[in-house]
Amino acid sequence: MENLDQLREELLASVTAADSLDALDAIRVSALGRKGRVTEMMKGLGGLDPEQRREAGQALNAVKTAVADAIDARHGGLADAALDAELAADRIDITLPARPESEGRLHPISQTFDEIIAIFGEMGFSVAEGPDIEDDFHNFTALNIPPEHPARQMHDTFYLPEKPDGERLVLRTHTSPVQIRTMQNNPPPLRIIAPGRTYRCDSDMTHTPMFHQVEGLIVDETTHMGHLKGCLIEFCRAYFEIDDVPVRFRPSYFPFTEPSAEVDIGCSRKGGELKIGAGDDWLEILGCGMVHPKVLAACGVDPDKYQGFAFGMGIERIAMLKYGIPDLRTFFDADMRWLRHYGFVPLEVPTLLRGLTP
Ligand code: DAH
């Protein structure tokens, strides 16, 4: 056995002399590591007789502990010194230009909703909402579409599984049920728009199973067809940003309005290119009419006292027209390249408001 006192002094001296964390670690390995000097001596204890082994074992353990403690202490000192040196040398260069942040885009549906809300907001409409899952009464019956009515076939309805009591809820096929809920829960006068998701079991170039609509409703004692026309003509001008956009009201049929009309805007399709606001062609953009007395009555509103108009339009359709987006299905592909191209810079106030705010 080496002389333990000498070994200890030698190791402690080298610990004290270690001038870096790496040097200290090398000393630790050479003394206490698996093949270190102290470790090897520990292994040698097996050859001694029991009495000697106990004494030598204790002495060796004392050396080991002393060296380990010294290494720990030195390690603390060296680490502090290394940190001090690093802090002294390290400088934040505040002249470096900032890394560019990647900026998101608003989906054209969100942008179009914002624009529509801004336009009707200026006309005094507030926003109403209703559930995506509707009952038969709100989606159909109260809108003057009774159970055997042929209009039910025009809506390719998604039905939910039948409930124990036999009721079948639906995914709303249009935003018109929000008219019903609004009239049930609020006394006239009313002036609301209801933007939201709608669902029909349909999928091709021009239909997706989920799409968006905006509904409009005015109910009071005096609003007439002239107001309906003025309001929607004004909307078309503001939305398409064309002051003299030709607008045509074409007689039509909806169960929930009487009389009913569809609104077309003037366009041209020369050379396969669609141009809005000029030419001798027409493009349908929304449905409207005077609220049917039966609809008012179904909501507890007296049709002899109150009247008003309603309208409904597809958001994707008017977004495609304004922003030249050719394929409906791309709205829902979640393709970042598409969104970067057709999306809008967020935090920008919608077109109309930008002109109107001080
Ligand atoms: N709900 C109709 C649809 O989805 C759109 C509509 C037409 C709504 C005329 C109305 C309206 O409020 O008056 O096809």
> What's the per-residue H, E or C state across 62-78?
HHHHHHHHHHHHHHHHH
- Asked if 27 and 128 sit in the same domain, the reply is no
Q: What confidence score (pLDDT) does residue 128 get?
A: 97
pLDDT band at 99 (very low <50, low <70, confident <90, very high): confident
CATH number of 190's domain:
3.30.930.10
Q: Please report the sign of the dihedral spanned by the C-alpha atoms of residue 199, residue 203, residue 204, residue 205.
A: positive
Find the 193 Cα to ligand 1 centroid distance in Å.
12
Nearest ligand 1 atom, CA 217: 12
Residue finishing a domain among 54, 89, 124: 89
What would the pLDDT profile of 134-169 be if each residue is shown by its tens digit? 999 999 999 999 888 877 877 789 999 999 999 999
pLDDT for position 358 = 37
97 within a domain of the structure (yes/no)? no
> Does residue 148 sit in the same domain as residue 181?
yes
- Specify the ligand 1 atom closest to the Cα of 179: 12
Q: How far is the CA of 108 from the centre of ligand 1 (A)?
A: 22
In a domain, 150, yes or no: yes
CA of residue 254 to ligand 1 center, whole Å: 7
The best mutation among 256, 258, 292, 317 to test binding of ligand 1, ranked by most ligand atoms within 8 Å of the C-beta, falls on 256
Are 233 and 119 within one domain? yes
pLDDT in tens, 206-265: 889 999 999 999 999 999 999 999 999 999 999 999 999 999 999 999 999 999 999 999
Domain membership flag for residue 301 = yes
Residues 257 and 218 in one domain: yes
CA distance 311 to 313: 7
User: Does residue 357 surpass a pLDDT of 50?
Assistant: no
**How many Å apart are CA 109 and CA 112, to the nearest integer?**
5
* Domain enclosing residue 309, as ranges: 108-357
Domain boundary among 89, 119, 150: 89
d(C-alpha 230, C-alpha 251), whole Å: 16
Question: Within 6 Å (CB) of ligand 1, which residues are found?
Answer: 174, 176, 215, 254, 257, 287-289, 310-312
Taking 90 as the threshold, does the pLDDT of residue 15 lie above it?
no
Q: Are residues 214 and 269 in the same domain?
A: yes
298 domain-assigned: yes
What pLDDT was estimated at residue 347? 65
Whether residues 68 and 128 share a domain: the answer is: no
Answer yes or no: do 141 and 82 share one domain: no
Domain for residue 129, yes or no? yes
Q: Considering only CA atoms, which residue is closest to atom 7 of ligand 1? A: 287
Q: If you take atom 3 of ligand 1, which residue's CA is the nearest one? A: 174
Does the residue 71 lie in any domain?
A: yes
103 in any annotated domain:
no
Q: Does 128 share its domain with 274?
A: yes
What domain count does the chain have? 2
Q: Is the pLDDT of residue 271 over 90?
A: no
Do 65 and 166 lie in one domain? The reply is: no
* Residue 352, pLDDT above cutoff 80: no
Flag whether 184 is in a domain.
yes
Encoded tokens for 344: 């809008």
By most ligand atoms within 8 Å of CB, the mutation choice from 120, 174, 253 for ligand 1 is: 174
Residues 46 and 192 in one domain: no
Query: pLDDT for 118-129, tens place per residue?
Result: 999 999 999 999
The protein residue with its alpha carbon nearest to ligand 1, atom 6, reads 312
Beta 133-134 vs 307-314: how paired, if at all? unpaired
Q: For the whole model, what pTM was predicted?
A: 0.71
User: Are residues 348 and 234 part of one domain?
Assistant: yes
Q: What is the mean pLDDT of residues 33-51?
A: 85
Between the CA of 79 and the centroid of ligand 1 the distance, in Å, is 75
Please tell me the predicted confidence (pLDDT) of residue 351.
Answer: 52
Which phi and psi angles does 347 have, rounded to 5°?
A: 65, 10
Rounded percentage of the chain residues whose pLDDT exceeds 90: 55
Mean pLDDT of 257-278: 90
**What's the pLDDT at 348?**
58
Q: How confident is the model at residue 2 (pLDDT cuts 50, 70, 90)?
A: low
Residues 59 and 139 in one domain: no
Matching residue, tokens 């390690």: 75
Residue 1's pLDDT is what?
52
- Tell me how far the alpha carbon of residue 147 lies from the centroid of ligand 1, in angstroms: 18
